[in-house]
Amino acid sequence: MSVLTTLALMVTALVAKVREVDPRDAEIAKLKSEIDDLERKLADVKRDRDGWFAMTMQWRERAHHLAQRPQPAQEQHFIDEAMRQRIQAQMLQHQAYSQQARIQQAQGMQNYQHQQGSLFGVQNQEGLFCNCVPARHDLLIRG
């Protein structure tokens, strides 16, 4: 080691011994760093608040402009007499087709029941057909 290096080391050691570390200095430094953090967070919150406020004002202005715009006229749909008569005729025709379909379905059910009764040859006094299952030997009897 050179003389200068040795002298520099001795001077720094002497200065470090002379200057005693005050425990309050560490606490003060810690509090200052906490204050800096809080000030930074406060600045962030203020910036966010200003952004939200600006956005709110934009939306209010937009809503105001939309409210001031003239509304489009409502279209009115008129049904004239000829159209009403056509609709009524179509509805009557649909009802007639429905009624005809119900009549055909009822006739089909009657034919089916009649065929079942004549197939099994069983009928009671009121003219209703029995819905019973015949035995095997009854199936072979015709007539």
The residue ranges of the chain whose pLDDT is under 50 are: none
Domain of residue 51 covers 22-66
**First CA to last CA across the chain, in angstroms?**
138
Residues 6+ apart with CB under 8 A from 131: 116
99/139 same-domain check: yes
Residue 15 lies in a domain: no
Residue 97 lies in a domain: yes
pLDDT confidence of residue 119: 54
DSSP β-bridge partners for residue 123: 129
Residue 5 lies in a domain: no
Q: Where are the alpha helices (DSSP H) in 19-124?
A: 23-68, 81-120
Query: In this predicted model, what pLDDT tens digit does every residue of 103-121 receive, in sequence order?
Result: 998 888 888 777 765 555 5
Residue 89 lies in a domain: yes
52/94 same-domain check: no
Whether 129 and 117 have beta carbons less than 8 Å apart is answered as yes
Residue 77 lies in a domain: no
